[in-house]
Amino acid sequence: MAGAAVGIVNVTGYIGVELARLLLEHPEVRLVSITGRSAAGKRLGDVFPHLAGSDLTIETELAPVDLAFVALPHGESAAAVAALLERGVRVVDVGADFRLKDVAEYEKWYRVTHPAPEYVAEAVYGLVELNREQVAGARLVASPGCYPTGAVLALAPAVKAGLVEPDIVVDSKSGVSGAGRTLTLPTHYAEANETISAYALDGHRHLPEMLQALRGLAPGTELSLTFVPHLTPMTRGILTSCYAKLKDGKVSAGERAREEVTGVYRDFYRGERFVRVAATSPQTGQTRGTNLCLVYPTVDLRTGRLIVVSCIDNLVKGGAGQAVQAMNLMLGFPEETGLKSAAVFP
Protein backbone atom coordinates (compact mmCIF):
# COMPACT_ATOMS: atom_id res chain seq x y z
CA MET A 1 0.00 0.00 0.00
CA ALA A 2 2.67 2.44 -1.11
CA GLY A 3 1.72 6.05 -0.71
CA ALA A 4 -0.70 5.28 2.10
CA ALA A 5 -1.98 8.33 3.97
CA VAL A 6 -1.31 8.22 7.70
CA GLY A 7 -2.08 10.50 10.62
CA ILE A 8 -1.19 11.05 14.25
CA VAL A 9 -3.72 11.79 16.97
CA ASN A 10 -2.03 13.94 19.62
CA VAL A 11 1.31 14.72 18.09
CA THR A 12 2.49 16.98 20.90
CA GLY A 13 3.87 14.42 23.35
CA TYR A 14 7.30 12.91 22.96
CA ILE A 15 5.99 9.71 21.36
CA GLY A 16 3.74 11.73 19.09
CA VAL A 17 6.47 13.99 17.83
CA GLU A 18 8.86 11.07 17.43
CA LEU A 19 6.22 9.41 15.26
CA ALA A 20 6.12 12.60 13.20
CA ARG A 21 9.89 12.53 12.75
CA LEU A 22 9.88 8.93 11.60
CA LEU A 23 6.82 9.23 9.36
CA LEU A 24 8.00 12.42 7.68
CA GLU A 25 11.14 10.55 6.64
CA HIS A 26 9.36 7.30 5.78
CA PRO A 27 9.73 6.59 2.07
CA GLU A 28 6.41 4.77 1.58
CA VAL A 29 3.77 6.72 3.48
CA ARG A 30 2.56 10.28 3.53
CA LEU A 31 1.92 11.91 6.89
CA VAL A 32 -1.12 13.96 5.97
CA SER A 33 -2.75 14.92 9.24
CA ILE A 34 -1.75 15.52 12.83
CA THR A 35 -3.84 16.62 15.76
CA GLY A 36 -3.24 18.19 19.13
CA ARG A 37 -5.24 20.07 21.66
CA SER A 38 -3.40 23.00 23.16
CA ALA A 39 -1.33 23.49 20.01
CA ALA A 40 -4.13 23.23 17.45
CA GLY A 41 -3.77 25.79 14.69
CA LYS A 42 -0.03 26.06 15.01
CA ARG A 43 2.50 24.83 12.48
CA LEU A 44 4.27 21.67 13.56
CA GLY A 45 7.62 23.32 12.83
CA ASP A 46 6.82 26.21 15.16
CA VAL A 47 5.99 23.93 18.06
CA PHE A 48 8.86 21.57 17.29
CA PRO A 49 11.59 23.49 15.48
CA HIS A 50 13.53 20.31 14.66
CA LEU A 51 10.66 19.50 12.28
CA ALA A 52 10.63 22.93 10.68
CA GLY A 53 11.06 21.26 7.32
CA SER A 54 7.44 20.11 7.45
CA ASP A 55 4.46 22.19 6.31
CA LEU A 56 1.95 20.39 8.49
CA THR A 57 -0.38 22.31 10.76
CA ILE A 58 -1.72 20.80 13.96
CA GLU A 59 -5.45 20.25 13.66
CA THR A 60 -8.25 19.49 16.08
CA GLU A 61 -9.71 16.63 14.02
CA LEU A 62 -7.89 14.02 12.01
CA ALA A 63 -8.34 14.23 8.24
CA PRO A 64 -9.18 11.03 6.34
CA VAL A 65 -6.28 8.59 6.48
CA ASP A 66 -5.68 4.92 5.80
CA LEU A 67 -4.01 4.33 9.13
CA ALA A 68 -3.80 6.39 12.29
CA PHE A 69 -1.45 6.40 15.24
CA VAL A 70 -3.15 7.36 18.48
CA ALA A 71 -0.85 8.85 21.11
CA LEU A 72 -3.32 9.82 23.81
CA PRO A 73 -3.08 9.17 27.54
CA HIS A 74 -4.72 6.05 28.90
CA GLY A 75 -8.41 6.40 29.38
CA GLU A 76 -8.55 8.79 26.45
CA SER A 77 -7.17 6.73 23.63
CA ALA A 78 -9.84 4.06 23.70
CA ALA A 79 -12.66 6.35 22.61
CA ALA A 80 -10.54 7.90 19.88
CA VAL A 81 -9.52 4.47 18.67
CA ALA A 82 -13.10 3.23 18.60
CA ALA A 83 -14.21 6.21 16.55
CA LEU A 84 -11.43 5.67 14.04
CA LEU A 85 -12.15 1.96 13.68
CA GLU A 86 -15.79 2.79 13.08
CA ARG A 87 -14.71 5.11 10.26
CA GLY A 88 -12.79 2.20 8.76
CA VAL A 89 -9.36 3.49 9.72
CA ARG A 90 -6.75 1.00 10.86
CA VAL A 91 -5.11 2.03 14.10
CA VAL A 92 -1.84 1.66 15.96
CA ASP A 93 -2.55 2.77 19.51
CA VAL A 94 0.64 3.74 21.31
CA GLY A 95 -1.35 4.33 24.49
CA ALA A 96 -2.18 1.74 27.12
CA ASP A 97 -5.90 1.12 26.66
CA PHE A 98 -5.76 -2.03 24.56
CA ARG A 99 -2.62 -3.69 25.85
CA LEU A 100 -4.17 -5.79 28.61
CA LYS A 101 -6.56 -8.54 27.59
CA ASP A 102 -8.16 -8.66 31.03
CA VAL A 103 -10.38 -5.61 31.29
CA ALA A 104 -10.72 -5.94 35.05
CA GLU A 105 -6.95 -5.97 35.39
CA TYR A 106 -6.78 -2.86 33.19
CA GLU A 107 -9.36 -1.08 35.31
CA LYS A 108 -7.57 -2.02 38.53
CA TRP A 109 -4.18 -0.74 37.40
CA TYR A 110 -5.31 2.33 35.46
CA ARG A 111 -8.18 3.26 37.79
CA VAL A 112 -10.61 4.11 35.02
CA THR A 113 -13.55 2.31 33.52
CA HIS A 114 -12.49 0.99 30.14
CA PRO A 115 -14.13 3.23 27.54
CA ALA A 116 -14.29 0.64 24.76
CA PRO A 117 -13.97 -2.90 26.10
CA GLU A 118 -15.62 -4.29 22.98
CA TYR A 119 -12.39 -3.80 21.02
CA VAL A 120 -10.05 -5.38 23.55
CA ALA A 121 -10.32 -8.91 22.23
CA GLU A 122 -9.56 -7.84 18.71
CA ALA A 123 -6.50 -5.74 19.54
CA VAL A 124 -3.16 -7.35 18.68
CA TYR A 125 -0.30 -6.74 21.09
CA GLY A 126 2.23 -5.07 18.86
CA LEU A 127 5.50 -6.61 20.02
CA VAL A 128 6.31 -7.64 16.47
CA GLU A 129 9.00 -10.12 17.40
CA LEU A 130 6.40 -12.20 19.24
CA ASN A 131 3.30 -11.51 17.16
CA ARG A 132 4.48 -10.81 13.63
CA GLU A 133 1.68 -12.51 11.74
CA GLN A 134 -1.16 -11.21 13.85
CA VAL A 135 0.18 -7.68 13.61
CA ALA A 136 0.31 -7.90 9.83
CA GLY A 137 -3.36 -8.71 9.65
CA ALA A 138 -4.57 -6.49 12.45
CA ARG A 139 -7.08 -3.71 12.26
CA LEU A 140 -6.02 -2.51 15.73
CA VAL A 141 -2.55 -2.85 17.19
CA ALA A 142 -1.86 -2.06 20.84
CA SER A 143 1.75 -0.96 20.77
CA PRO A 144 3.67 -2.07 23.88
CA GLY A 145 4.77 0.12 26.75
CA CYS A 146 8.40 1.16 26.91
CA TYR A 147 9.39 -0.96 29.92
CA PRO A 148 7.63 -4.15 28.75
CA THR A 149 9.40 -3.86 25.41
CA GLY A 150 12.82 -3.99 27.03
CA ALA A 151 11.89 -6.55 29.66
CA VAL A 152 9.95 -8.97 27.50
CA LEU A 153 12.56 -8.99 24.74
CA ALA A 154 15.20 -9.65 27.40
CA LEU A 155 13.31 -12.52 28.99
CA ALA A 156 11.33 -14.11 26.17
CA PRO A 157 13.94 -16.61 24.95
CA ALA A 158 14.68 -17.87 28.45
CA VAL A 159 11.03 -18.08 29.48
CA LYS A 160 9.98 -19.73 26.24
CA ALA A 161 12.75 -22.30 26.56
CA GLY A 162 11.93 -22.93 30.20
CA LEU A 163 15.48 -22.14 31.28
CA VAL A 164 14.65 -20.23 34.42
CA GLU A 165 12.78 -20.56 37.65
CA PRO A 166 9.67 -18.40 37.76
CA ASP A 167 11.15 -16.03 40.34
CA ILE A 168 12.30 -13.04 38.33
CA VAL A 169 13.61 -9.58 39.18
CA VAL A 170 13.41 -6.84 36.55
CA ASP A 171 15.35 -3.68 37.41
CA SER A 172 14.94 -0.95 34.76
CA LYS A 173 16.70 2.38 34.34
CA SER A 174 14.88 4.88 32.15
CA GLY A 175 15.80 8.26 30.76
CA VAL A 176 13.59 11.14 31.82
CA SER A 177 11.79 11.51 28.49
CA GLY A 178 9.94 8.33 29.44
CA ALA A 179 7.95 10.41 31.90
CA GLY A 180 6.54 12.44 29.04
CA ARG A 181 6.30 16.09 28.17
CA THR A 182 3.82 17.07 30.87
CA LEU A 183 5.49 19.31 33.44
CA THR A 184 6.09 17.73 36.85
CA LEU A 185 8.46 18.48 39.70
CA PRO A 186 10.40 15.20 39.41
CA THR A 187 11.07 15.95 35.74
CA HIS A 188 12.05 19.58 36.34
CA TYR A 189 15.66 19.87 35.18
CA ALA A 190 17.28 20.81 38.48
CA GLU A 191 15.37 18.04 40.28
CA ALA A 192 16.12 15.24 37.81
CA ASN A 193 19.70 16.12 36.91
CA GLU A 194 22.60 14.42 38.71
CA THR A 195 20.42 12.09 40.74
CA ILE A 196 18.83 8.68 40.36
CA SER A 197 15.84 7.21 42.16
CA ALA A 198 13.59 4.17 42.19
CA TYR A 199 9.88 4.81 41.82
CA ALA A 200 6.55 3.01 41.64
CA LEU A 201 7.72 0.62 44.33
CA ASP A 202 4.09 -0.23 45.06
CA GLY A 203 3.68 -1.54 41.53
CA HIS A 204 3.96 0.00 38.06
CA ARG A 205 1.29 -0.25 35.38
CA HIS A 206 3.70 -1.93 33.03
CA LEU A 207 3.97 -4.95 35.33
CA PRO A 208 0.72 -6.69 34.27
CA GLU A 209 1.69 -6.09 30.65
CA MET A 210 5.03 -7.87 31.17
CA LEU A 211 3.32 -10.73 32.93
CA GLN A 212 0.72 -11.14 30.20
CA ALA A 213 3.35 -11.25 27.48
CA LEU A 214 5.64 -13.67 29.33
CA ARG A 215 2.79 -15.98 30.35
CA GLY A 216 1.86 -16.21 26.72
CA LEU A 217 5.28 -17.73 26.11
CA ALA A 218 5.06 -20.25 28.91
CA PRO A 219 1.40 -21.14 29.42
CA GLY A 220 0.66 -22.53 32.82
CA THR A 221 3.67 -20.97 34.51
CA GLU A 222 2.99 -18.90 37.59
CA LEU A 223 5.51 -16.05 37.42
CA SER A 224 6.63 -14.28 40.55
CA LEU A 225 8.07 -11.14 38.98
CA THR A 226 9.19 -7.98 40.74
CA PHE A 227 9.64 -4.91 38.55
CA VAL A 228 11.30 -1.71 39.77
CA PRO A 229 11.85 1.25 37.42
CA HIS A 230 14.45 3.93 38.10
CA LEU A 231 14.48 7.53 36.86
CA THR A 232 17.95 8.07 35.37
CA PRO A 233 19.58 11.41 34.51
CA MET A 234 19.62 11.16 30.73
CA THR A 235 17.05 12.05 28.13
CA ARG A 236 16.56 8.80 26.23
CA GLY A 237 17.11 5.11 26.79
CA ILE A 238 16.04 2.21 28.96
CA LEU A 239 18.46 -0.34 30.28
CA THR A 240 16.75 -3.33 31.83
CA SER A 241 18.61 -5.82 34.02
CA CYS A 242 16.81 -9.13 34.54
CA TYR A 243 17.70 -11.77 37.09
CA ALA A 244 16.40 -15.34 37.46
CA LYS A 245 17.88 -18.59 38.67
CA LEU A 246 18.54 -21.19 36.00
CA LYS A 247 16.55 -24.37 36.46
CA ASP A 248 18.65 -27.31 37.47
CA GLY A 249 19.95 -29.31 34.58
CA LYS A 250 18.82 -26.97 31.85
CA VAL A 251 22.32 -25.86 30.91
CA SER A 252 25.77 -27.28 31.48
CA ALA A 253 27.87 -26.31 34.43
CA GLY A 254 30.70 -23.80 34.15
CA GLU A 255 31.62 -21.53 31.29
CA ARG A 256 29.63 -23.59 28.83
CA ALA A 257 26.45 -22.37 30.46
CA ARG A 258 27.07 -18.95 29.01
CA GLU A 259 27.55 -20.25 25.52
CA GLU A 260 24.45 -22.37 25.69
CA VAL A 261 22.32 -19.54 26.97
CA THR A 262 23.68 -17.23 24.29
CA GLY A 263 22.87 -19.93 21.75
CA VAL A 264 19.26 -20.04 22.90
CA TYR A 265 19.04 -16.27 22.50
CA ARG A 266 20.69 -16.24 19.08
CA ASP A 267 18.33 -18.93 17.86
CA PHE A 268 15.30 -17.13 19.20
CA TYR A 269 16.22 -13.85 17.51
CA ARG A 270 17.74 -15.27 14.34
CA GLY A 271 16.69 -13.16 11.38
CA GLU A 272 15.26 -10.36 13.50
CA ARG A 273 16.13 -6.97 12.10
CA PHE A 274 15.63 -5.00 15.32
CA VAL A 275 16.84 -7.29 18.07
CA ARG A 276 20.55 -7.97 18.26
CA VAL A 277 22.13 -10.38 20.71
CA ALA A 278 25.17 -8.38 21.78
CA ALA A 279 28.58 -9.95 22.25
CA THR A 280 29.48 -7.59 25.09
CA SER A 281 27.55 -5.60 27.65
CA PRO A 282 25.59 -2.98 25.68
CA GLN A 283 24.79 0.65 26.43
CA THR A 284 21.59 2.59 25.88
CA GLY A 285 23.54 5.16 23.87
CA GLN A 286 24.15 2.55 21.19
CA THR A 287 20.43 2.58 20.43
CA ARG A 288 19.81 6.34 20.57
CA GLY A 289 17.36 7.36 17.89
CA THR A 290 17.02 3.80 16.56
CA ASN A 291 14.52 0.97 16.65
CA LEU A 292 17.10 -1.49 17.96
CA CYS A 293 16.90 -3.62 21.06
CA LEU A 294 20.28 -4.93 22.18
CA VAL A 295 20.04 -8.03 24.36
CA TYR A 296 22.95 -9.44 26.34
CA PRO A 297 22.43 -12.69 28.24
CA THR A 298 25.02 -14.10 30.59
CA VAL A 299 25.23 -16.36 33.62
CA ASP A 300 26.49 -15.56 37.10
CA LEU A 301 28.44 -18.78 37.48
CA ARG A 302 28.77 -18.42 41.26
CA THR A 303 25.03 -18.47 41.83
CA GLY A 304 23.67 -20.13 38.70
CA ARG A 305 21.66 -17.06 37.97
CA LEU A 306 20.78 -15.87 34.49
CA ILE A 307 21.42 -12.17 33.98
CA VAL A 308 20.02 -10.50 30.89
CA VAL A 309 20.60 -6.85 30.07
CA SER A 310 18.62 -5.12 27.32
CA CYS A 311 18.92 -1.62 25.90
CA ILE A 312 16.41 0.35 23.86
CA ASP A 313 15.60 3.94 23.01
CA ASN A 314 12.38 4.36 24.96
CA LEU A 315 10.93 6.74 22.37
CA VAL A 316 11.77 4.56 19.36
CA LYS A 317 11.78 0.79 19.94
CA GLY A 318 9.96 1.54 23.19
CA GLY A 319 7.49 3.87 21.47
CA ALA A 320 7.23 5.43 18.05
CA GLY A 321 9.66 3.14 16.25
CA GLN A 322 7.98 -0.13 16.97
CA ALA A 323 4.64 1.46 16.16
CA VAL A 324 6.03 2.25 12.71
CA GLN A 325 7.44 -1.28 12.54
CA ALA A 326 3.91 -2.58 13.13
CA MET A 327 2.52 -0.20 10.51
CA ASN A 328 5.02 -1.49 7.99
CA LEU A 329 3.64 -4.99 8.43
CA MET A 330 0.04 -3.82 8.36
CA LEU A 331 0.60 -1.97 5.09
CA GLY A 332 2.74 -4.66 3.49
CA PHE A 333 6.12 -2.88 3.51
CA PRO A 334 9.39 -4.51 4.45
CA GLU A 335 9.51 -4.37 8.23
CA GLU A 336 12.55 -2.09 8.40
CA THR A 337 11.23 0.55 6.01
CA GLY A 338 11.98 4.00 7.38
CA LEU A 339 13.71 2.54 10.42
CA LYS A 340 17.23 1.88 9.18
CA SER A 341 19.12 4.81 10.72
CA ALA A 342 22.10 4.01 12.88
CA ALA A 343 22.36 5.51 16.33
CA VAL A 344 23.62 9.05 16.71
CA PHE A 345 26.76 8.36 18.72
CA PRO A 346 28.27 9.91 20.70
Site residues for a copy of itself, window 27-46 (CB under 8 A)?
46
Q: Which is nearer to a copy of itself, 134 or 221 (CB)?
A: 221
Vertex 293: Cα angle to 288 and 295 (nearest 5): 125
Indicate if 146 belongs to the active site.
Answer: yes
Of the residues 32, 40, 51, 130, which one makes contact with a copy of itself according to CB under 8 A: 51
Q: How far apart are CA 150 and CA 314, in angstroms?
A: 9
Q: Which amino acid is at 216?
A: G
CB 290, CB 98: distance < 8 Å: no
In 10-119, where do the E strands start and end? 29-35, 58-59, 67-70, 90-93
Q: Which is nearer to a copy of itself, 124 or 339 (CB)?
A: 339
Q: How far apart are CA 258 and CA 256, in angstroms?
A: 5
Of the residues 1, 2, 37, 52, which one makes contact with a copy of itself according to CB under 8 A: 52
CB 93, CB 124: distance < 8 Å: no
The interface with a copy of itself within residues 230-289 (CB under 8 A) comprises 230, 232-237, 239, 241, 243, 245, 276, 278-289
State the nearest-atom distance from the C-beta of 238 to a copy of itself, in Å. Answer: 9
Q: Which is nearer to a copy of itself, 253 or 344 (CB)?
A: 344
Helical packing angle, 103-110 and 206-217, nearest 10°:
150
Binding mask 139-158 for a copy of itself (x = CB under 8 A): --------------------
Which residue, 295, 152, 169, is CA-closest to 242?
A: 169
Binding mask 160-199 for a copy of itself (x = CB under 8 A): -------x-x-x-x-xxx---x-xxx-xxxxxxxxxxxxx
Q: Which is nearer to a copy of itself, 25 or 122 (CB)?
A: 25
Q: Which is nearer to a copy of itself, 139 or 305 (CB)?
A: 305
Instruction: Return the number of other C-beta atoms located less than 10 Å from residue 196's C-beta.
Output: 11
State the nearest-atom distance from the C-beta of 191 to a copy of itself, in Å. Answer: 6
**Residues involved in catalysis:** 146
